[in-house]
Amino acid sequence: MFKKLIIINNPNEINIKRIKKFKAQIILREKKSIKINSKVITLLKKNNIKFFVYNDIKRLFKYKSNFFYISSKNHNSFKHLKLINKHIFLLGGAHNVTEIYRKINQGCDAILLSRIFKSDEKKGFLDLHKFNNLLSIFPIKVYALGGINRDNIKKIRNCTRSIGACVMSAYKNKNFNFQ
């Protein structure tokens, strides 16, 4: 089954109907200027939407979530979380071989490997060939991230061994669908 993830940078971007239609999980990215409040967490739980807590163990326990996202910049080990709760799913962000090794050593169950496609916002990307080569080297589940839109989502489904895709900007596009 092709899994779907959406990165949410702002709680105002959450569209419950759309997320449920996609049957997607979300990553709640909290920044200093943007905080996720308890109303948002209650709304997600009420609608059975699974969400990843971004880089903050205190919030992971506060929100009573079993999904934890470790950004590529976070170098701490989180293997101990599995001792506390064997149901915790660790997802790590990576952009290169060094970061993939780091995420495996941190105890991640899967990795968001970025950037698969060229995008206007950022320089550099892997392309399908390099992406697939990395997937064949490492014994870990991988989601594709970066530059994904309605025109190239089928390439991820049909031409990679990724277990799913994660989008950020494409989620805001009303014409986007994971199909």
Per-residue pLDDT of the chain (179 residues; tens, 9 = 90+): 789 999 988 888 899 999 999 999 999 887 665 677 888 899 999 999 999 999 989 989 999 999 999 999 999 888 888 888 889 999 999 998 899 999 999 999 999 988 877 776 667 667 777 877 777 888 899 998 888 888 888 888 877 788 899 998 888 888 888 87
Write out the two tokens for 27: 């990553």
Residue 71 maps to which CATH number?
Answer: 3.20.20.70
Whether residue 179 is contained in a domain is answered as no
CA nearest to 69, candidates 92, 94, 95, 45:
92
User: Which residue range(s) make up the domain with 78?
Assistant: 3-172
- What's the pTM value of the predicted model, to 2 decimals? 0.90
Q: What is the pLDDT of residue 91?
A: 96
Q: How many domains does the chain have?
A: 1
Whether residue 160 is contained in a domain is answered as yes
Whether residue 155 is contained in a domain is answered as yes
Q: Phi/psi of residue 128, each to 5°? A: -65, -40
Whether residue 135 is contained in a domain is answered as yes
